[in-house]
Amino acid sequence: MEITIPNRLSTLGHPQRLPLFRPLMRRDPDCVPATELAQALGLKPNTLSTYAHALMQAGLISQQRIGKSLRYAIDMKAVQETLDYLLRDCCRGRPEICVPKTSFNPVKYRPIAKRRYNVLFICTANSARSITAEAILHDFAADRFTAYSAGIKPRSELNSFALEVLEQKGHDVSVLSSKNISEFQGADAPNFDFVFTLCNQAANEECTLWSGQPINAHWGLPDPVKVDVSDAEKSLVFHQTYGALRNRMIAFLALPLASLDRLSLQKAVDTIGQSTDKGSQI
């Protein structure tokens, strides 16, 4: 252990390895394709492989081959082991003395105490998936949640197919608009309890740390906007996307938020995001 931890810290200290480690942490428990990571980080495949190999040697990430695709994932047990070592060593076996600096208590993973929660859904354009998620959560549970959505590269107009599906499901689309994520990162922005990314590009982006330590999860879904089919078939795809988001929202709303500790809640929302259900057209 005395040798392993310094090796891990030295590996993470490399200015090109840390940027690879970060998106994998944000995407946990996903296994992320190497090609996607290379594109997000602007790296050549062989360069990415070199950095990934070093992280694997340190035991911080794992590699899996699925067909012809190499995929990487965080070894969360090793990360937790490393953090635990630092807390015991740097905090002299008293983690509570580090709390004023980190504003996080690693001993008492308390539930979120509030009874009304702020939720932010993020995707690339904020024209379809995140807008749909915002509308569903607002109409399903406006008494318990305030729903927001934003894009890292928002479009000026919402997708017409998404709006058509929402109107057919009885949602009021007049209150919806595309917004830039920067609108929610200023001093006057609401403190979020939950932040969900709905596309891989948004999940891979470096974002400003959110105040209030929200629960973060990746609920990635294929982009229905990019499906190159007839209008009738595209409408079906948007209905399926709506159904998938609706199912995830129902599962989310069923969680006993006030009684779950943060670790259990994080695991629960991660599990919802791992759902392979393509949704229904209902």
Q: What is the pLDDT of residue 276?
A: 60
Which has more confidence, 239 or 19? Answer: 239
The predicted model scores a pTM of: 0.71
Query: Are 136 and 74 members of one domain?
Result: no
| Domain closes at, from 105, 139, 161 | 105
Distances from the Cα of 136 to the Cαs of 32, 110, 166, 219, 243, in angstroms? 28, 28, 9, 15, 10
Cβ 178 vs Cβ 151: under 8 Å = yes
Q: What is the pLDDT of residue 91?
A: 62
Cβ 250 vs Cβ 277: under 8 Å = no
Return all residues near 24 (Cβ < 8 A) that are at least 6 apart: 32, 37, 61, 72, 73, 74
Mean pLDDT (the chain) is: 85
Q: What is the pLDDT of residue 258?
A: 84
Which has more confidence, 172 or 16? Answer: 172
Q: What is the pLDDT of residue 208?
A: 61
Query: Are 54 and 192 members of one domain?
Result: no
Does residue 278 sit within a domain? no
pLDDT digits (tens, 9 = 90+) for 70-102: 999 999 999 988 888 877 766 655 555 555 444
190 φ/ψ angles, rounded to the nearest 5 degrees = -65, 150
pLDDT digits (tens, 9 = 90+) for 39-74: 888 899 999 999 999 999 999 999 999 888 899 999
64 lies in which domain range? 1-105
pLDDT digits (tens, 9 = 90+) for 177-213: 999 999 998 888 899 999 999 987 777 776 666 777 7
Report the relative pairing of strands 69-74 and 61-66 from DSSP bridges.
antiparallel
Q: What is the pLDDT of residue 113?
A: 56
The number of domains in the chain is 2
CATH of the domain at 15: 1.10.10.10
Q: Can you tell me the mean pLDDT for 169-177?
A: 96
Query: Are 5 and 143 members of one domain?
Result: no
Q: What is the pLDDT of residue 96?
A: 58
Query: Are 5 and 99 members of one domain?
Result: yes
| Domain closes at, from 79, 105, 131 | 105
CATH of the domain at 185: 3.40.50.2300
Q: Can you tell me the mean pLDDT for 150-177?
A: 95
Query: Are 198 and 59 members of one domain?
Result: no
| Domain closes at, from 105, 133, 164 | 105
Q: What is the pLDDT of residue 41?
A: 86
Query: Are 46 and 138 members of one domain?
Result: no
Q: What is the pLDDT of residue 57?
A: 93
Which has more confidence, 3 or 84? Answer: 84
Query: Are 76 and 205 members of one domain?
Result: no
pLDDT digits (tens, 9 = 90+) for 214-234: 899 999 999 999 998 999 999
